[in-house]
Amino acid sequence: MQKIEHIGIAVKDISSANAIYTKLFGTPPYKTETVESEAVITSFFKSGPNKIELLQAMNDESPIAKFIEKKGEGIHHIAFAVDDIFAEINRLKSEGFIVLNETPKKGADNKLIAFLHPKSTNGVLIELCQEIAQ
């Protein structure tokens, strides 16, 4: 497990959130992307070496819609960069963590991703992400 790759924030309305975070960082999102498998619209901001991902649900079945319904808007997950997501999933499983998707899936921003259930990480949804070689 390496550095924090980004922090994900669940928002109700990505256009108004984009406007707020553009003001906050003084620069617009460098990328916006729809992830059909998660039913989310995402946008990414850079602040120095740090990245923030905003996520808006595309429908009521989206995990982001369910999150906002339960907890409201706010920090949704912390993503850590990994070199070998398959090895890391196996390692974490053997350590007793609950891996939500044991087969990594294609996430936003050209990444293979997997999530750890917050039940096994003191209430924090952890994302593992590995850059897909271009």
Q: Is 79 in the site for Zn ion (CB under 5 A)?
A: yes
Smaller CB separation from Zn ion, 7 or 120: 7
* Sole window of 3-11, 24-32, 82-90, 95-103 interacting with Zn ion (rule: CB under 5 A): 3-11
Measured from the CB atom, the residue of 8 and 104 that comes closer to Zn ion is 8
Beta strands in the chain (DSSP E): 4-10, 31-35, 40-47, 50-57, 74-81, 105-106, 111-116, 126-131
Among 8, 29, 63, 104, binds Zn ion (CB under 5 A): 8
Nearer to Zn ion (CB atom), residue 88 or residue 127: 127
At position 86, the amino acid (one-letter code) is: F
By beta-carbon proximity to Zn ion, the closer residue of 81 and 97 is: 81
Task: Map the footprint of Zn ion across residues 18-77, applying CB under 5 A.
Answer: 53
Q: Which of 77, 91, 103 is nearest to 1 (CA)?
A: 91
Residue located via tokens 């997997």: 114
Q: Are 102 and 114 in contact (CB under 8 A)?
A: yes
Pairing of strands 111-116, 105-106: antiparallel
Count interface residues toward Zn ion (CB under 5 A): 4
Given the rule CB under 5 A, which residues bind Zn ion?
Answer: 8, 53, 79, 127
